[in-house]
C-alpha cells in the first residue's frame, strides 16, 4: 500500500506544529534508530533522544517540551504526547491498509446466506447455508464459515480462519489467521470403549473481542462456550467445551482452559497458564506465567503463582526456602553426624 503525505498534512491530522520543512513528503513509517529518507518516526523515550540528531528519517514526532541540544536535519512535529500521536497515526495507517472491499469472483457464498453492505470477501472464501453477515465485515482469503453462523458488523476474519456451524460472533471483533472456532469438545466415554460424545452446542463470542492466531475454541457439548464482551486472546490459546470467559479478560499466549470452567471479569493471565475443568476464577484475578490452577479461586483481585498455584507473595517466600533446601539438608546431615 502506498502512503504519501506532507509534514503539514500529518501535523494537521495530529493537531501538532511543524518545525522545519513542512512540505517534506512522507511515504512510510520507521523506528527512529532505523529511520530513512521519506519516513516518519517518533521520540517518546528519553533513552532514544540521541537518535534524533543522527536519524535519517525525514519527519519525527516529538513532545512539545523537548529542548534541542544540537541541530536536526529532520522536520519535527511537536505535540502534547509523541507516543499517543504516533499510536493514532499507526491506527489511521492500519485502517487505510486494511480497507479492502468487494467480493472476489473466486469466493463462494451460499444463496441462502444474508450478507450486509460493504463487505470484503477474498479468494476461496466459503460461506455456508443460512449464514448471517453484518455490514462492513472483512473476510480474508481461505476463510470458511459454516452453516447458520452469525458474524456481526465491522468484524474482521483474517486469512485461513475456520468457523464451524452455529457459531455466533458479535460486532467489532478481530480474529487472526489459523484460528478455529467451534471444533468439537474433547469428550469421550471411557465406560463405553471411549465412544465419542456428540458435541451439539455452539460458541458465542460477544462484541469487541480479539482472538490471536492459531487459537482453538471448542463448541459446547450442550449450550454454549462463551467469550464475553471485550475479551482479548494472544496466539495459541485453547478454550475447551462449555468454558465461559468474563468481560475484558486478557489471556496471553499458550493458555489452556479445560471444560466447563468459568473465568471472571477483568482477569489477566500470563503465558502458558493451565486451568483444570469445572472450577471458577473470581473477577480481577491475575495469574503469573506457567502457573497451574487446580481448584477454584473465589477471592477477587488475587494474584496466583506456581503449580499448583496459590497466593503469589506466599509462593515467593516459600520458593526462597525451596532454593535453599539443599544447603539446609546438608546442615541437618552435618548436625546429625556431630551428635
Catalytic residue set: 241
CA distance 291 to 286: 11
The length of the chain, given as a count of residues = 339
Cβ atoms 242, 221 nearer than 8 A:
yes
Cβ atoms 308, 294 nearer than 8 A:
yes
CA distance 273 to 259: 15
CA distance 310 to 323: 18
CA distance 315 to 296: 17
Beta bridge partners of 115: 133
Q: In this structure, what C-alpha cell is assigned to residue 291? A: 502457573
Residue 101: burial class (beta carbons within 10 Å; 0-12, 13-18, 19+): exposed
DSSP assignment string, 225-268: EEE-TT-EE-SS-EE-TT-EE-TT-EE-TT-EE-TT-EE-TT-E
Cβ atoms 293, 273 nearer than 8 A:
yes
Cβ atoms 225, 184 nearer than 8 A:
no
Amino acid at each position: 500500500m502506498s502512503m504519501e503525505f506532507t509534514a503539514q498534512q500529518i501535523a494537521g491530522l495530529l493537531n501538532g506544529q511543524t518545525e522545519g520543512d513542512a512540505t517534506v513528503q512522507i511515504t512510510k513509517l520507521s523506528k527512529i534508530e532505523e529511520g530513512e529518507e521519506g519516513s516518519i518516526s517518533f521520540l517518546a523515550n528519553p533513552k532514544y533522544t540521541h537518535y534524533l540528531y543522527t536519524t535519517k528519517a525525514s519527519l519525527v514526532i516529538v513532545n512539545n517540551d523537548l529542548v534541542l541540544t544540537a541541530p536536526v536535519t529532520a522536520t519535527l512535529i511537536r505535540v502534547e504526547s509523541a507516543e499517543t500521536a504516533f499510536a493514532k497515526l499507526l491506527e489511521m495507517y492500519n485502517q487505510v491498509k486494511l480497507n479492502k472491499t468487494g467480493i472476489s469472483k473466486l469466493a463462494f457464498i451460499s444463496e441462502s446466506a444474508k450478507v450486509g453492505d460493504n463487505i470484503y470477501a477474498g479468494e476461496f472464501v466459503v460461506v455456508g447455508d443460512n449464514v448471517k453477515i453484518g455490514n462492513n465485515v472483512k473476510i480474508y482469503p481461505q476463510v470458511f464459515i459454516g452453516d447458520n453462523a452469525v458474524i456481526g458488523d465491522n468484524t474482521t476474519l483474517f486469512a485461513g480462519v475456520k468457523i464451524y456451524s452455529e457459531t455466533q460472533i458479535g460486532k467489532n471483533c478481530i480474529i487472526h489467521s489459523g484460528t478455529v472456532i467451534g471444533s468439537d469438545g474433547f469428550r469421550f466415554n471411557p465406560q463405553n470403549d471411549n465412544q465419542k460424545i456428540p458435541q451439539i452446542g455452539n460458541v458465542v463470542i460477544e462484541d469487541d473481542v480479539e482472538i490471536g492466531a492459531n487459537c482453538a475454541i471448542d463448541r459446547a457439548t450442550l449450550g454454549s462456550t462463551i467469550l464475553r464482551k471485550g475479551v482479548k486472546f494472544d496466539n495459541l490459546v485453547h478454550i475447551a467445551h462449555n468454558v465461559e470467559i468474563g468481560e475484558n479478560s486478557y489471556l496471553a499466549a499458550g493458555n489452556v482452559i479445560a471444560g466447563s470452567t468459568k473465568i471472571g471479569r477483568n482477569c489477566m493471565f500470563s503465558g502458558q497458564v493451565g486451568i483444570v475443568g469445572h472450577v471458577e476464577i473470581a473477577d480481577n484475578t491475575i495469574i503469573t506465567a506457567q502457573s497451574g490452577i487446580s481448584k477454584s479461586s473465589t477471592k477477587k483481585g488475587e494474584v496466583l503463582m506456581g503449580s499448583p498455584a496459590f497466593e503469589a507473595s506466599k509462593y515467593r517466600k516459600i520458593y526462597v526456602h525451596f532454593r535453599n533446601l539443599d544447603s539446609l539438608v546438608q546442615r541437618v546431615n552435618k548436625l546429625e553426624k556431630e551428635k
